[in-house]
Structure 1
Amino acid sequence: MLEDLDKNLSFLELKCRRPVEHLLAGEYRSVFRGRGVEFEDVRPYQPGDDVRTMDWKVTARTGVAHIKRHIEEREQFVYLLVDLSGSILHGADGKTRRTVVEVCSLITMAAIKNQDRVGLVLFTDRVEMIIPPGKGRSHAMRIMDALLNFQPQGKGTGFAEMFTTFGHLARKHSATFVVSDFLSSDFLQEMQALTLRHDMNAIRIESSSVTKTKISGLVRMKDAESGRQRVVDLKSGDGDDGSVLRQQMVEAGVNLMELAVGQDCVESLAGFFHARQRMVTR
């Protein structure tokens, strides 16, 4: 069993490595950059130093001219906030989770290649697992292993506790990816508030369901999270095509990527990064 898990993880890394090295790392870097420069320390003034960097408070206190030293802030914090509720894990074929695993692994490897720190929060109706931000291949493999193999306890979806936890974790500006099918409705206000401090991105996983087929009329459906059954009128439009969510995300200032189960994650991510880059350069 452990050998099979190791093989699956190694295969996932190999599958993601080539597109990251040849395409996604560059696209990622063009969008998600450090935030300029940050203060490092002060040192005594030397002839030729730019007087505009003079630290007048330290100079006045010590009686010796000092300047401020700054370093370029390249390192970025990246967080993956990943929904593992029943609606994501339902189905014997596991295609929905595989799509989530692949897109998150590609983001992780692109960020790690860019020397960024990546953190992970897995959630259902509770916070299931936290991996604090870290760097390097071994850290990336730890995140990918959790995405691939972690078995959650909860089945529902609860954004409130997860966002509260994330708020305590992310003290610095972070590029944040919330990965979910967004079937719950308690996320919008919290995400909008977080856009004031973080670069918020949502990846909506679109499950293949009867709403994508030619079936119309009344259909009895079982909620994968609560286990309850209800009758849905597909003809009346109960199966949402995502237009409402798109409008909500635009109004909240959140960048939305829509990814169908089984869709090419590399192509979709490259398109999303490219669209983000066009917005930055306008």
Structure 2
Amino acid sequence: MQTTKDIPQWLASHHSDGVNLSIKELLYYRTKASLLNLSLGRPAQAKLAGGYLAKTKGRGMEFDEARHYQPGDDIRAIDWRVTARTGKTHTKIYREEKERPVFVLADLSSSMHFGTQLLFKSVQVAHLTALIAWAAHKRGDRIGGLIYNQTQHKEFKPFSRQKAVLSLLNGIVNLHHPQSPPPKHGEEQVTFTDACARLRRLAHPGSLVFILSDFANLTESAQQHISQLSRHCEVTAYPISDPFEHALPQSKYQQMLNLTDGQDEQQILIGEQRIATQYQSEHEQRFNAINTRLKKCRVNVVPISCAQSLERQLAKRSSETAV
């Protein structure tokens, strides 16, 4: 974990306050793309999956543009909608899809707006999303995603340009509302299960998919969606958590600690060994259950703490892997 003394300096250097979100702190990770290795972890499932996007145009999978029909063009490629709208015959031009699209599901729901030491879980999700997006851009992969909070979601189709990265990052800043109210009466709530279902429709076979969440709302339906997704894509789950969710703070004296999620309030006693042991045991079982269910979905599980910088955690993980 970051030491208490280091935290103000770290936040300042990253243009962050740990609670709110700005585009400036996400641009920081452009120079840190090497922290993530997006190399293929297992054979791609899609027949046309590979490392690059062909620059030649032909009858591939990826639509490129519509242009005026020219003698010799395949009549099966005529774009009838554009033709009807303009009154002139247009044909569809395709690029052969050979690179692996990268998708990020970023959970910004109410349970993510919590943190006790360095960052809110939601802010860590944004930082990790930025790192993934810049790493994909550096490789030349297309980047897309799905961002949601409790009242709305936004989908981003994958593109390889820097504009796609900036669009995704601006989207996560716009949907990040630490003080956002719960859904109003009659207003539809966006759930983790909804997000997973939408992600299944977005991610094409052979894609590299990252799911960033605390998985507090990992329902049976959501688990089924992730399991189906992993059949055709390489999926990595990043469970984001705070140290307080694993163990109560240590205290020499018994005292009541006030807690709030912005809506409800409750108290918990710290400094009492029996309660501390029970709390840690219950939460350890909960996190172990989440990891077990995710692994049953055949996904890579990489726990991330919001009390420590991504640089430190990923560098440590990289050194351990090297050993």
Pairwise same-fold verdict (TM > 0.5): yes
Equivalent of residue 12 in structure 1, options 3, 26, 32: 26
CA displacement, residues 75-120 of structure 1 (integer Å, 9 cap, x when unaligned):
1111111111111124698532321111111110000111111112
1:75 aligns with 2:126: no
Instruction: Describe how 1:199-214 pairs up with structure 2 within 5 A.
Output: 199-209=234-244, 211-212=246-247, 213-214=249-250
CA deviation after TM superposition for structure 1 residue 30, in Å:
5.5
2:202: which partner in 1?
A: 169
Contact 1:100 / 1:179 at 8 angstroms: preserved in 2? yes
Matched positions, count = 242
**C-alpha distance 38-189 of structure 1, shift in aligned 2 (>3 A):** closer
**Segment of structure 1 superposing worse, 27-36 or 180-189:** 27-36
1:258 aligns with 2:303: yes
2:283: which partner in 1?
A: 239
Amino acid of the structure 2 residue aligned with 1:105 = A
Structure 2 CA distance for aligned equivalents of residues 210 and 171 of structure 1: 35
**C-alpha distance 129-227 of structure 1, shift in aligned 2 (>3 A):** farther
CA displacement, residues 207-244 of structure 1 (integer Å, 9 cap, x when unaligned):
23264333699988767387475979553222236222
Q: Residue 243 of structure 2 aligns to a residue in which SS?
A: coil
Contact 1:34 / 1:73 at 8 angstroms: preserved in 2? no
Segments of 5+ residues of structure 1 without an aligned counterpart are 42-70
**C-alpha distance 36-272 of structure 1, shift in aligned 2 (>3 A):** farther
CA displacement, residues 145-192 of structure 1 (integer Å, 9 cap, x when unaligned):
222342466757722211221222223321111100111231322211
Amino acid of the structure 1 residue aligned with 2:296 = E
2:88: which partner in 1?
A: none
**C-alpha distance 224-145 of structure 1, shift in aligned 2 (>3 A):** same
CA deviation after TM superposition for structure 1 residue 270, in Å:
5.5
Contact 2:120 / 2:306 at 8 angstroms: preserved in 1? yes
CA displacement, residues 111-144 of structure 1 (integer Å, 9 cap, x when unaligned):
0111111112112346511121112212211212
**C-alpha distance 219-199 of structure 1, shift in aligned 2 (>3 A):** farther
CA deviation after TM superposition for structure 1 residue 251, in Å:
2.3
Alpha-carbon RMSD across the aligned residues, in angstroms, is 4.1
2:6: which partner in 1?
A: none
What percent identity do the matched residue pairs reach? 17
Structure 2 CA distance for aligned equivalents of residues 34 and 113 of structure 1: 20
CA deviation after TM superposition for structure 1 residue 195, in Å:
1.1
Structure 2 CA distance for aligned equivalents of residues 277 and 127 of structure 1: 41
**C-alpha distance 276-189 of structure 1, shift in aligned 2 (>3 A):** farther
Structure 2 CA distance for aligned equivalents of residues 35 and 189 of structure 1: 19
1:196: which partner in 2?
A: 231
CA deviation after TM superposition for structure 1 residue 198, in Å:
1.4
**Structure having the larger proportion of residues in strand:** 1
Q: Residue 214 of structure 1 aligns to a residue in which SS?
A: coil
Contact 2:115 / 2:306 at 8 angstroms: preserved in 1? no
**C-alpha distance 264-223 of structure 1, shift in aligned 2 (>3 A):** same
TM-score by length of 2: 0.60
Structure 2 CA distance for aligned equivalents of residues 132 and 38 of structure 1: 19
**C-alpha distance 157-244 of structure 1, shift in aligned 2 (>3 A):** farther
Structure 1 CA distance for aligned equivalents of residues 115 and 300 of structure 2: 28
Q: Residue 171 of structure 1 aligns to a residue in which SS?
A: coil
**Structure having the larger proportion of residues in helix:** 1
Equivalent of residue 35 in structure 2, options 24, 35, 46: 24
**C-alpha distance 220-239 of structure 1, shift in aligned 2 (>3 A):** farther
Amino acid of the structure 1 residue aligned with 2:297 = A
1:128: which partner in 2?
A: 153
TM-score by length of 1: 0.68
CA deviation after TM superposition for structure 1 residue 24, in Å:
3.2
**C-alpha distance 91-193 of structure 1, shift in aligned 2 (>3 A):** same
